Structure 1
Amino acid sequence: MTSSNNENLRHLADTVDQLAVRLSSIQPSCLEQLEQWREAAYRSIDQYCERKRHELIEMKQVHYRQELNQLQQKVNQLIANHDDRQDHYDSVNHDIQLVEVKINELEHLRLKVHPLSIDEHLITRRHLFPLTHPYRMIHLKTSLESAVGTNDKHLLVDREGKHLCLLDRNLVIVNEISFTHDGIHSVFWASTIGQFIIVTCKNILLLDEKTMTLEKCPISSKVDWWRGTCSEDTLFLLTIEWGSSIYEFNLGSSFKAGKEWHSPVTCKKNEVMGDIKYNSGFLAIPIFNRHRDESRFELRSVINLDCIWSIRVHGRCRCCQIDVDQWLVMDHDDCRFFHISADGKLLEAGKYDQHEQLEDIIPWGKDSIVVLTKKINVISSPSTTVMATTEENDNNRHMTTNLSSLRRRFASLALSCIHREYPNKIAHILTSDADVQAPHHLTPAFFGCFDWHSAVHGHWLLARLGRIDKNLTYECRQALRQSLTKENLEGEVTYLSGEQRQTFERPYGLAWLLQLVMELDEWAEEEKESSEEILQWRENIRSLELIVVNRLSSWLPKLSHPVRSGEHSQTAFALGLSLDYARHVNNSIFEQLIEQHSLRFFSSDKLYPFIYEPSGEDFLSAGLAEADLMRRVMYKNNQEFLQWFNEFLPRTNLPSSLEPPSIADPTDPKLIHLAGLCLSRAWMLEGIVESLPENSEQRNQLYELSKRNAQAGLTAIDESHYEGGHWLGTFAVYLITRRGIHPNEINKP
């Protein structure tokens, strides 16, 4: 054996030893995730035990102590009054004996405790499939050939082959420049030089994201370039030809040419490499064979291009690395995905057939995937990969996802939280110790969704979608059946009728309650021949409805000035919802009251200062809500509204502050209000546009502004963050079903 062979064998032995050391010292990040889950599980158990102790023992102790104090007062009063009447003595003695019975029962309380069963499926390896709904999307018309790249802070993608767009994590375009080169084949970030690298057929370009300036790399254009990737120090470029070649260039020395790899080392002459991605010393390459019409996905050594493993896949593919060292392979034409393990095993495969063609796929951050399709960019929901289609819906006037998919997505948001009691923010005035109770005891129908008003409009969402989308009716009715019982709604009446509750949820939550009543009323009318259950829900809520109408009716005349905030206290928005209700149920007295005070508050407003909007935590526009209310009030005389609206608008163009705002932190429960602002602006603008004549000069401007706000609002909804997830679905459904524009109009599938 030669010394060279000995040296090679020693190298192999050293490599095995190094891998053994690595294996013994592995501490996967999932261990931290597992520990966090364990700690959270213990906290949940502790909280549950505390809640049960309070509910079963401590609350009864408080009540019995109050009864004993009252009895003590009675006895002391009898003693002080020298009252020795036998009937008084017997009465107090009887009450004492009753309390003693209750205390005896509490003292000997026995519980039926079920063992806590641990499902083996609580913790499993995560699965990418089946694909779920996207939580971000943007419509960008791309060129015939396109690609997307990221540096984990921004996305870079072309628009119409004429512009390069830089997008932030909310998929808002933060910068844009003209692009006059060939179609883009590949985009990726080179951390060593801190720039995006853009591959076109004849040029390799560099983009500085800070200055948005483009420059050409000093790389020969004698061949046609196709795909690219880079390591810390090397740029790898593929050629677009049968029998693809790979060229290497040094990133640290002005792109000095390095190794070249040609067919048959790269692939056969009748094969083409569809993509190339670098990861930890290896190159991942999908290869298509035109004679066999089949594909394979290979992991190659970056040193000598040796094949480490190969697995058969399907179609012309792109690929990206996920979970550090696993791979996701995407078939362009068949919309099929393959999840490949680090050692080349097929873990899962799935198909998403709502697109004609997929263009590119990249990871973004730890748990998200970006997919470029012929129509949209989509960021998948965490821990999964997902695509969705969009279409121009002329009836709805907004770019939206397939409408039935959106409805299901937003129904799922409400279904997941209307009976979720915690976390919970209760607007609750305490009048005694007895008022300290869990939310489901205080308001037994509307205790979920973080707060009362969100619970109410979450139920409205389910009633709305259950009524108009038969594919969702069963699930929505199941959830509503649990909440809208006679007993639960009597509990709501008791709560609202309590001492110190005159201002509870006024006006925002009360107005949403009337919207729920209106939806149930319409649904009951439609189903009166076939469903007594919905009729019963309508009857069950009638007493609560009466309290709300009376409360708003007595409050309006006393309100000296409208509240012009962008949050729950705003007057105009609540009056708009309430007016739609009043007209539907033919409550002419309530209708006239709202119209009268709306005119008192707003009819003389002129030159509204939109430039002062929004405030940083608004979810409603005070100005647009006012205009949206006034077009309802003046609907019988549209000319009157047009005159008022023209005087209401500023003399100059609408300010840029009405453009969709950027949301700095979607996990902040106040800052995420701005997503709701976009959605409410969109439907308010849409309602105003409906009242303007076709030749109005403001019509197109307001229509386009409505579309931009709708798109921003819909793309900002994130199921993974409860801060927005517990309420934004309602705003989205109010928008996409056009509820406030023609209250009796239904968009059925």
Structure 2
Amino acid sequence: MSQPCAIKNCKRASRTLCHCCNQNLCRDHFNEHDDLLNSKLVPLADEVNTLNDRISAINLNDMMGECRQELDQWRRNCYKTIDDLYHQKCQELQEYVSTRIDSQRQRVTELRTQMAELIDKQETTKQDIADVTSTIHDLAQSIESIEQNIAQVDTTPLKLDDTMIRIGEVKTQTCILSKLSTPSHTIGRSPTTWNAVAANDRFLLMHNNSKLCLVDGTYSVVKCANWEYGLILGMCWSSSFNCFIVLTKQKIFLFNENTATISEIHDIQNGNWHACGCSDYSLYLSQSDSNSSVFQFSLPSTHLARRLVTNQNENREQIDSITCNRGTILLALNNITIQAKTIQLRSENTFSILWSFQLDVTYNSNRTRCCSLSQNQWLVTDWYTSRIFHLTQNGLLKATCTYSSRTYDIILFHSNILTILTDGRIDFHKI
């Protein structure tokens, strides 16, 4: 005997088993069920066609443009690194050869003076003849050695690792603030240390014990130079100079990572400076008199290109931090008039505001510092409250946390090591 149709209130007998829903249905309800399922194919087919249109409309050259820019920038940086090392070694070769020749020239001059004195006195002894003969012999050998091989240059082939460039799917930047509980490494700081750091792809520059120190990827101090120029207000890396820029209140200095030497930039006049930041071809400076201005200097010429104003009204606004990244400038603004701290992202070309974010902190006059992350995201730290803010590329708050100590400065080192300056130490967090 057949079973009744599974549809409620249907009195007809079932005619078939629907394998989709595993129900016994009569002919009419089975046809309705079948038609309903088939009708869903049309909108699904439309969605497939839409996806096909989207994938067909993708312009590979346009989509790969930014990635190619990254590769081109990497290539330019590598070429510049090679050129800089080449010129440095050419200078070392010149100095070595000049020193070697000058040394022998000095010996020849001294010998000629000695010979003139002997000839003038006409009291030459056998010992004098023996001494002069021996000196001539030694000089002849030294000069012959120079003539045959003035210097030896030993080079090591440049080893390129395929892992230097990784290509793959973009991974969403996770919230890194959850990884800041325990540092992977710390470096102690003396009480007289100035609160600023900078980094390039090789070294971290810090001030400690009255010295500028370079720290490598193993957290080892590899080079130092005595610092005798007073309070350091900011540091940044300049690819145009291939040097670190060190900012004081009245002067600007270059720190050469290869020679660990310090030199002053004389072309930029004293300006009551407060903060600094560098892009590929520009140096940006702000002043400590709350005039809402950013001064852009072209590099490497260091001539003033333009003065940019962040605030058109009469509010007193101090620019505490300047961070450049991929054609944008992130500014940490301290508006003294309305007592508010704001983060602004601006276009480097037009200086127009891309987005603005007001920090939810107890107002204070202490400096706010910023650093860039991957995928055009940012970290902002407020010293007074020890809070760190993670902002997205669109200026939205992704996360926030309160650090265990006062945070003076923050920077990303080697793309995966977050470096935080605190009271008495520098903390390194792998992210």
Provide the TM-score with structure 2 as the length reference: 0.58
Deviations along 1:318-345, whole A, 9 cap, x unmatched? 1000014111111111111111111111
* Greater helix content: 1
Corresponding position of 2:303: 256
Match of 1:274 among 320, 323, 330: 320
Deviations along 1:237-286, whole A, 9 cap, x unmatched? 11112123211112132x12211124635x85322111001111111001
| Aligned-partner Cα distance in 2 for 1:172–1:222 | 35
| Contact 2:194-2:207 at 8 Å conserved across structures | no
- Secondary structure, aligned partner of 1:32: coil
Pairwise mapping of residues 40-51 of structure 1 onto structure 2 (< 5 A)? none
**Residues 1:307 and 2:356 are matched in the alignment:** no
Deviation at 1:312, TM superposition (A): 1.3
The residue identity in structure 2 corresponding to 1:325 is N
Distance 1:380 1:187, change over 3 A: same
**Residues 1:152 and 2:201 are matched in the alignment:** yes
Deviation at 1:194, TM superposition (A): 1.0
Corresponding position of 2:393: 342
| Aligned-partner Cα distance in 2 for 1:241–1:20 | 49
Corresponding position of 1:293: 339
| Aligned-partner Cα distance in 2 for 1:18–1:276 | 36
| Contact 1:243-1:263 at 8 Å conserved across structures | no
**Residues 1:199 and 2:247 are matched in the alignment:** yes
Corresponding position of 2:192: 143
| Aligned-partner Cα distance in 2 for 1:262–1:240 | 14
- Secondary structure, aligned partner of 2:270: coil
Corresponding position of 2:22: none
**Residues 1:239 and 2:287 are matched in the alignment:** yes
Corresponding position of 1:458: none
- Secondary structure, aligned partner of 1:318: strand
| Aligned-partner Cα distance in 2 for 1:18–1:232 | 30
Deviation at 1:220, TM superposition (A): 3.6
The residue identity in structure 1 corresponding to 2:199 is T
| Aligned-partner Cα distance in 1 for 2:357–2:59 | 24
| Contact 2:277-2:322 at 8 Å conserved across structures | yes
- Secondary structure, aligned partner of 2:218: coil
- Secondary structure, aligned partner of 1:287: strand
* Greater strand content: 2
Distance 1:325 1:182, change over 3 A: same
Pairwise mapping of residues 419-434 of structure 1 onto structure 2 (< 5 A)? none
**Residues 1:380 and 2:429 are matched in the alignment:** yes
| Contact 2:245-2:253 at 8 Å conserved across structures | yes
| Mean CA deviation greater in 175-184 or 212-221 | 212-221
| Aligned-partner Cα distance in 2 for 1:187–1:231 | 13
**Residues 1:133 and 2:269 are matched in the alignment:** no
- Secondary structure, aligned partner of 1:207: strand
Distance 1:133 1:216, change over 3 A: same
Unaligned runs of 5+ in 2: 1-56, 71-164
| Contact 1:143-1:158 at 8 Å conserved across structures | no
| Aligned-partner Cα distance in 2 for 1:159–1:310 | 35
- Secondary structure, aligned partner of 1:184: coil
| Contact 2:215-2:222 at 8 Å conserved across structures | yes
Corresponding position of 2:258: 210
Corresponding position of 2:157: none
| Aligned-partner Cα distance in 1 for 2:345–2:271 | 25
Deviation at 1:181, TM superposition (A): 0.6
Corresponding position of 1:32: 168
| Aligned-partner Cα distance in 2 for 1:26–1:262 | 29
The residue identity in structure 1 corresponding to 2:259 is T
Corresponding position of 1:103: none
Match of 1:178 among 208, 226, 230: 226
Corresponding position of 2:144: none
| Contact 2:193-2:208 at 8 Å conserved across structures | no
Deviation at 1:200, TM superposition (A): 0.6
Distance 1:151 1:261, change over 3 A: same
- Secondary structure, aligned partner of 1:129: helix
Deviations along 1:481-509, whole A, 9 cap, x unmatched? xxxxxxxxxxxxxxxxxxxxxxxxxxxxx
The residue identity in structure 1 corresponding to 2:168 is E
Distance 1:274 1:25, change over 3 A: closer
Aligned residues: percent identity? 24
- Secondary structure, aligned partner of 1:274: strand
Corresponding position of 1:465: none
Distance 1:26 1:208, change over 3 A: closer
| Aligned-partner Cα distance in 2 for 1:227–1:333 | 18
Match of 2:276 among 204, 220, 228: 228
Deviation at 1:227, TM superposition (A): 1.1
Distance 1:292 1:201, change over 3 A: same
| Aligned-partner Cα distance in 1 for 2:339–2:174 | 32
Distance 1:172 1:309, change over 3 A: same
| Aligned-partner Cα distance in 2 for 1:24–1:215 | 41
| Contact 1:182-1:202 at 8 Å conserved across structures | no
Deviations along 1:584-640, whole A, 9 cap, x unmatched? xxxxxxxxxxxxxxxxxxxxxxxxxxxxxxxxxxxxxxxxxxxxxxxxxxxxxxxxx
Corresponding position of 2:16: none
Deviation at 1:146, TM superposition (A): 1.9
| Contact 1:204-1:219 at 8 Å conserved across structures | no
Distance 1:202 1:231, change over 3 A: same
Provide the TM-score with structure 1 as the length reference: 0.34
| Contact 1:146-1:183 at 8 Å conserved across structures | no
| Aligned-partner Cα distance in 1 for 2:357–2:329 | 14
| Aligned-partner Cα distance in 1 for 2:320–2:195 | 14
Corresponding position of 1:363: 412
Deviation at 1:25, TM superposition (A): 7.5
| Contact 2:202-2:216 at 8 Å conserved across structures | yes
Deviation at 1:23, TM superposition (A): 4.6
Distance 1:344 1:23, change over 3 A: farther
Distance 1:18 1:195, change over 3 A: farther
Distance 1:211 1:332, change over 3 A: same
Deviation at 1:19, TM superposition (A): 10
Distance 1:142 1:248, change over 3 A: farther
| Contact 1:263-1:269 at 8 Å conserved across structures | no
Deviation at 1:302, TM superposition (A): 1.3
Larger radius of gyration between Structure 1 and Structure 2: 2
Q: Cα RMSD between the aligned structures?
A: 2.9
